[in-house]
Amino acid sequence: MSALEQLIEALRRLPGVGQKSAQRMAYHLLQHDREGAQRLSAALAAAAQQVQHCQRCHTFSEAALCPVCLDATRDAKLLCVVETPADQAALERTGSYRGYYFVLQGRVSPLDGISTKDIGVAELLERASDGLVEEVILATSFTAEGEATAHVVGEVLRARGLRSTRLARGVPVGSELEYVDLGTIAHALVDRR
Ligand SMILES: [Zn+2]
């Protein structure tokens, strides 16, 4: 494969990018924006190398612990469970949540053979059993798999004597949290049950 073909193939891996868009981007960068191409290349290399997962909540972090986990002014009684670092960032942007987070490694999907074991529920249990957490807020997506995940994680927590709540309805059914507007997420947080 030529370097140009390899670039197009690499761009096609991005979500929502098909053959045509990948081609357009590659030709644009090479024809009109060589400097942008170099910047993109350097930024990708740096991010892929430097961005790791926070050891405590598993969101993206460039240090062992992320800024939220390091913030001692947050409310240790609240632990919010999300599916991805993008969802954690979406909740954080609402500015209406002051507790800590735990990012699962995805969501349960029986069809794909993904169970609670695969998404880090054992670690969540350990984290939620620190003696400080009083409420675990299940902020998984309002998709079928997100709902199933909230259900099974809630049961596991209850079996351990831990209290869990779910984001309120109002978030459109079928939505990925990261694409929901901030006001809606903020309301769903306040009205959780
Ligand atoms: Zn963290």
The pLDDT assigned to 171 comes to 66
pLDDT of res. 185: 82
How many angstroms is it from 143 CA to the middle of ligand 1?
25
Tell me the two tokens of residue 29: 């960068």
CB-based contacts of 73: which residues, under 8 Å, 6+ apart?
none
- Sign of the Cα torsion 61, 64, 67, 73 reads positive
Assign 106 to helix, strand or coil. Answer: coil
Tens-level pLDDT at each residue, the chain (193 residues):
999 999 999 999 999 999 999 999 999 999 999 999 999 999 999 999 999 999 999 999 999 999 999 999 999 999 999 999 999 999 999 998 999 999 999 888 888 888 888 889 999 999 999 999 999 999 998 888 999 999 999 999 999 999 999 987 766 777 777 777 777 888 788 778 8
Ligand 1 centroid–CA 74 distance in Å is 12
At 165 the pLDDT is: 95
Question: What pLDDT sits at residue 99?
Answer: 97
CA of 7 to the centre of ligand 1 (A): 34
Taking the model in full, what pTM does it have? 0.84
